[in-house]
Amino acid sequence: MTLGMVLSLPANLCSGLYRVRGLYSRAVWMQNAALLLGQISQLFALAMFGSLLAVAIAFVLLQLLFAIFIAGFDALRRFPFPRRAARPPFIAPSRRSSIGQFGRALSFAIANITELALVNIPVLLVSALVAGRVAVVQWG
């Protein structure tokens, strides 16, 4: 679960861009939908396989799909400057403009990363103190 959350970190920068541009409700709505689908898939995995590993995979898979969608598709469609980096523009954007775009989103990205760390610290502490892997997965 922790590895899956670490892999979804690049979406935090995109969430910061959504906040800066006034589109944060869209990102929150999509994340909540991914969490709901993740919880439904966890119930399905538990009913079908009866394994905690299947439950963890079901949760992480939906979160990774959400991160890929945000960072790979939706953010590129909403914000023009990442698309310009993919193909050479006629006029190169200035560094000041590019840094300014990410600079406004950086504080929100740091807040999201901090929130993610605070959510996972109890799981890491339990895994360091408890020998049973089942107890750690149940805590997570």
Of 7-11, 47-51, 82-86, give the range with the top mean pLDDT. 47-51
- Whole-number average pLDDT of the chain: 76
* Residue positions counted in the chain: 140
Residue 29 is predicted with a pLDDT of: 83
pLDDT at 25: 80
Backbone angles phi, psi at 93, to 5 degrees: -70, 145
Mind listing the pLDDT tens digit for each residue in 12-33? 777 777 877 788 788 778 888 8
End-to-end alpha-carbon separation of the chain, Å? 8
Whole-model pTM? 0.55
Distance CA 110, CA 22 (A): 18
Side-chain-side CA neighbours of residue 4 (13 Å): 16
Q: What is the pLDDT of residue 5?
A: 72
pLDDT at 94 over 80: no
Q: Decide if pLDDT at 84 tops 60.
A: no
CA distances from 101 to 16, 74, 97, 121 (A): 10, 17, 6, 31
What is 12-39 written as a DSSP string? HHHHHHHHHTT-HHHHHHHHHHHHHHHH
